[in-house]
Structures are given as structure tokens and as C-alpha cells.
Amino acid sequence: MKYKDIINKMTIEEKAMLCVGQDYWNSKGLERLGIPSIKMSDGPHGLRVQKTKADNLGINKSEVSTCFPSGATIANSWDKQLAYKMGKTIGEEAVREEVDIVLGPGVNIKRSPLCGRNFEYFSEDPYLSGKMGAFISKGIAKHGAFATIKHFCCNNQEKSRSDYDVVVSQRALREIYLKPFEIAVKEGKNVLIMTSYNSVNGFWSASNYDLTAKILRDEWGFDNIVMTDWWARCNAKQGEWGSTNRLDVMVRSQNDLYMVSPDVLVKSSSVLKGLENGTVTRAQLQLSCKRILEWILKTNTFKEYLKRGCKPKYPIVVNTDDMTMVAITNDFDISEACIKSINAGADLLLICHGYETEVDVINNIKDAVDKGIISIDRINESVYRILSLKYSYKINNEKIENIDVDIINSKIEDILNRLNKN
């Protein structure tokens, strides 16, 4: 499978959605086109994988993984092979946990003893930082995972890191702050880039054209994924306050992926609005989609996906909450809300009150299909997922005469015991 075969089948809306993360730790998948969601894990001193109740702060329970020494400790050894071995083990554990992207290492320069993440960064020396980052990424890549070099760039303090503008000369930028990233990009393997929260000379890093498009891509030849840090800001003009809803200027700067979003449709709509207003072009969006797809096709997840015949490991069905709740009915006609939900990707519509309402919704959905508001392919996708889910749980329409509750409870208890042991 080639990215060209996929991208030619994508709608503009799907291309925009591909540039937005699905949730805390996953990229957006496009099941219709056989594109799986790709899992990420925080780093860099060991994996932080949360299979249930995932959060961005690591408050909830994580899977067991090795805790490695800090970046400062590893750098103090001056041992590149030690860094490689550490990365190799992290990459091995990533494969075990079905993780493709390790969000680390951080190669920011230590400029102040007050920086709250100095323990994580390697050194005040750009050369040492770059070399350590490159060898850790080579180790992570040994088993097919991807390291993410961060935070690009000038993230050298933690206090108000989302609010400050770094005013820096071109010489200092090139010789000190960019140098470790340049080394890691040119000498590392399977490297992704994460931009920083701060602004650099008036432009927020996530939308900084000079940094990403001119230096990183044009000068250094980097052609892999660039992603934002979580909920990063972007701006269109120098000195303008950043917004989390300016993904059009993010894509324009050749930053490909916005992480993270509770609502993919809301974020992607800013790209669509940008296409209408001319703040981003279709060619720029196409380029980001190309890089994202090329990267996905290289992941272990996609290779396993192909082995399963491009079918999800488990059928994923999206259902709504009760569409008759006042939170919906105060602002929308129920049928209108249901049609919007289907087009947004929902499979099952929950309508809890009123048989007449259910019939009316069904008839309006049929009418929407007839008028082309909902495509028949979109309906078929949901039907396929629902039937697949039923099949996986051996659910059919055969009537069960007698239900033995004790047997059911016993099976549930066995499952819970196995989960607790694991």
C-alpha cells in the first residue's frame, strides 16, 4: 500500500482530521481508508502507558515499565553506546506495549538552574546534547519504534512556558539552541520532532515558519512528522497572542500534527476555515497528509494491521449518549443532531424516550441519505462495525429460552480474576 493510493481517496475533511490527534495518546485513524490509530507514550526515561483511564499528567495507573536514569545522568557518562542501549530497551518495551511513538528525548539546553526539567535534558553543551539524543533515538528505532526529539525550540524554562516569547539572536539560535536538534535530526533514526510551547522572536513555535519550514525542513532536509506539544498555541502574525484553534497556520508552517484534541472536528474545522480564507493552501495540507501517511505506513502498528487484513484488532463502535437530553434538544432538533452525529462518525444513536421520536429520526435519516446529506457508504461503515462487534461477542438474533444467571456471573468472575492477575 502506498500513501498516494490513500490520499487520492480522502475527502478534504478527512485530510484536515488526519492533522489532529484523536485523544491523549493516539493519532487519528481513518477506518474507512484502512488507516489505524497510532499509539504514543510519554518518555523519555521509560514508558508511561495507560491502557485505561488515560490522562496527560500520569495520575492514573500506568503499565509496568523500566525506570531509567535521567538524561542528565546519562549525559554525565559521556557514553554514546550506553545511551544507545537505554534507547534500545525503551524501544523493546514500546513494541511490547504496542507503542509506536516515544515522546522523548528532550535535547533543550540547560541555561538556568531554575528550569524545572533540567534533570530531563542532557547538558548545557549543544554537541553532547545532540549526540545523546541521536544515539537514544537509534536505540529506540532498533525495534521499529520512533523517538520524538523535543522541545523545538528554546524551551529553556518551565515557569509560564506557554506564555513567554524568547527573543534570541540568529547566532545564539544557530550555535546553541538549534545545534542539538540539528545533530539529532541528521544522525538519529526514525526521528519525529515535537515543537515547544513558547514563542520564538514573536512566533509561537508550533506555527513558526522560519524554524520548521526553512531551517528544519529546507536546510536540514527533515521530511518526517512534526507535531505540537499538547494544546500548543499558534499565531498568524509576529507578536500576536497565540490560539489553540489556528491549525491553519500550523499546517502552513509545515507542522503536521496537532496534539491533543477533545474534539477532532472542532480543531480540523479551523483548517477548513483557513482553506476558505486563504491562510493555508490545499497543497500545504496535502503535504502534511503525505508525511503523516508515509510515517503511519512504516509503523509496527500498520504492519500488524496488514497482517489482520486491515481490520481493527477489536471492532470499535462509537455510540452517542441519550439524544433526547435537554443539552441537545435545547439547541438542536433531534433528527438534525442525529444526522450531524452520523456524519461526525457515530455508529449507534441512543434515543431513550419516545417511540414516535425514534421512528421520526429513522425516517429523517433515510431522507438525508436520499438527498445525499449522508452518504450510503457512511451508513455501511457503521453497519459493518456494529455487525463485526456483535460477531466478536457471538451475539445473534436467536432467542434464548432460559438464562442461567449463575453461569454468567461465574464467567464474569473468571474474567475479572484473570485481569487482576495480569
**352 vs 185, which has greater pLDDT?**
185
Q: Which position has the grid cell 484488532?
A: 313
3-state secondary structure of 27: coil
- Which DSSP symbol is given to 245? T
β strands within 40-167, DSSP E: 40-42, 101-103, 146-152, 165-166
Q: Is pLDDT of 325 > 80?
A: yes
Top-confidence range, 13-27, 207-221, 259-273, 377-391? 207-221
Determine what percent of the chain is predicted with pLDDT higher than 70. 96
Query: Letter for the amino acid at 211?
Result: L
How much is the average pLDDT of 260-276?
A: 88
How many Cα neighbours within 13 Å face the side chain of 20? 25
Active site residues: 229
Give the end of a domain, one of 284, 307, 330: 307
Query: What per-residue confidence (pLDDT) applies to 73?
Result: 95
**Residue 205 grid coordinates:** 513555535
Per the domain annotation, does 204 fall within a domain? yes
How much is the average pLDDT of 200-226?
A: 97
Per the domain annotation, does 64 fall within a domain? yes
260 and 397 in a single domain? The answer is no
8 Å CB contact between 334 and 357: yes
pTM over 0.85? The answer is no
327 and 381 in a single domain? The answer is yes
Q: What is the dihedral of CA 62, 67, 70, 71, to 10 degrees?
A: -80
**Residue 264 grid coordinates:** 477532532
160 and 209 in a single domain? The answer is yes
CA neighbor of 288 nearest in space, from 94, 16, 4 = 16
334 and 298 in a single domain? The answer is no
Q: Is pLDDT of 395 > 80?
A: no
Q: Is pLDDT of 412 > 80?
A: yes
**9 vs 173, which has greater pLDDT?**
173
Classify residue 307 as exposed, middle or buried by CB count within 10 Å of its CB (0-12, 13-18, 19+). exposed
Query: Interior CA angle at 316 toward 314 and 322, to 5°?
Result: 145
Give the end of a domain, one of 277, 307, 337: 307
**Beta strand 203-204 with 199-200: parallel, antiparallel or unpaired?**
antiparallel
**285 vs 55, which has greater pLDDT?**
285
141 and 197 in a single domain? The answer is yes
Q: What tens digit of pLDDT does each residue of 279-302 get?
A: 999 999 999 999 999 999 999 999
Per the domain annotation, does 314 fall within a domain? no
Per the domain annotation, does 22 fall within a domain? yes
The mean predicted confidence, pLDDT, of the chain is: 90
244 and 344 in a single domain? The answer is no
8 Å CB contact between 130 and 138: no
236 and 166 in a single domain? The answer is yes
8 Å CB contact between 47 and 90: yes
Query: What per-residue confidence (pLDDT) applies to 4?
Result: 81
Per the domain annotation, does 98 fall within a domain? yes
Residue 80 sits in which domain range? Answer: 3-307
Write down how long the chain is: 422
How many domains is the chain built from?
A: 2
8 Å CB contact between 107 and 117: no
- CATH number for 137: 3.20.20.300
Per the domain annotation, does 312 fall within a domain? no
138 and 276 in a single domain? The answer is yes
3-state secondary structure of 192: strand
CA neighbor of 166 nearest in space, from 199, 133, 214 = 199
**Residue 322 grid coordinates:** 441519550
Per the domain annotation, does 326 fall within a domain? yes
- Quote the CA–CA distance of 47 and 56 in Å, as a whole number: 13
Per the domain annotation, does 232 fall within a domain? yes
Give the end of a domain, one of 245, 277, 307: 307
Q: What is the dihedral of CA 397, 345, 304, 45, to 10 degrees?
A: -130
- Quote the CA–CA distance of 316 and 300 in Å, as a whole number: 20
Q: Is pLDDT of 189 > 70?
A: yes
Q: Is pLDDT of 368 > 80?
A: yes
How much is the average pLDDT of 92-111?
A: 95
How much is the average pLDDT of 80-98?
A: 95
What residues are paired with 42 via a beta bridge?
Answer: 48, 103
Query: What per-residue confidence (pLDDT) applies to 392?
Result: 64
How much is the average pLDDT of 158-187?
A: 95
Query: What per-residue confidence (pLDDT) applies to 247?
Result: 96
CA neighbor of 271 nearest in space, from 283, 279, 259 = 279
301 and 323 in a single domain? The answer is no
- Quote the CA–CA distance of 253 and 250 in Å, as a whole number: 5
- Classify residue 119 as left (phi > 0), alpha (psi -120 to 50) or beta: alpha
- Quote the CA–CA distance of 43 and 58 in Å, as a whole number: 11
Query: Letter for the amino acid at 163?
Result: D
242 and 384 in a single domain? The answer is no
How much is the average pLDDT of 70-74?
A: 94
Query: What per-residue confidence (pLDDT) applies to 314?
Result: 60
8 Å CB contact between 138 and 189: yes
Q: What tens digit of pLDDT does each residue of 300-321 get?
A: 999 988 887 776 666 678 899 9
252 and 103 in a single domain? The answer is yes
Q: Is pLDDT of 159 > 80?
A: yes
Q: Which residues contact 90 (CB under 8 A, 6 or more apart)?
A: 43, 44, 46, 47, 66, 68, 102, 136, 139, 140, 145
Query: What per-residue confidence (pLDDT) applies to 422?
Result: 58
How much is the average pLDDT of 317-340?
A: 89
How much is the average pLDDT of 135-157?
A: 96
72 and 113 in a single domain? The answer is yes
Determine what percent of the chain is predicted with pLDDT higher than 90. 64
Q: Specify the range with the lowest mean pLDDT, choosing from 37-51, 53-67, 175-189.
A: 53-67
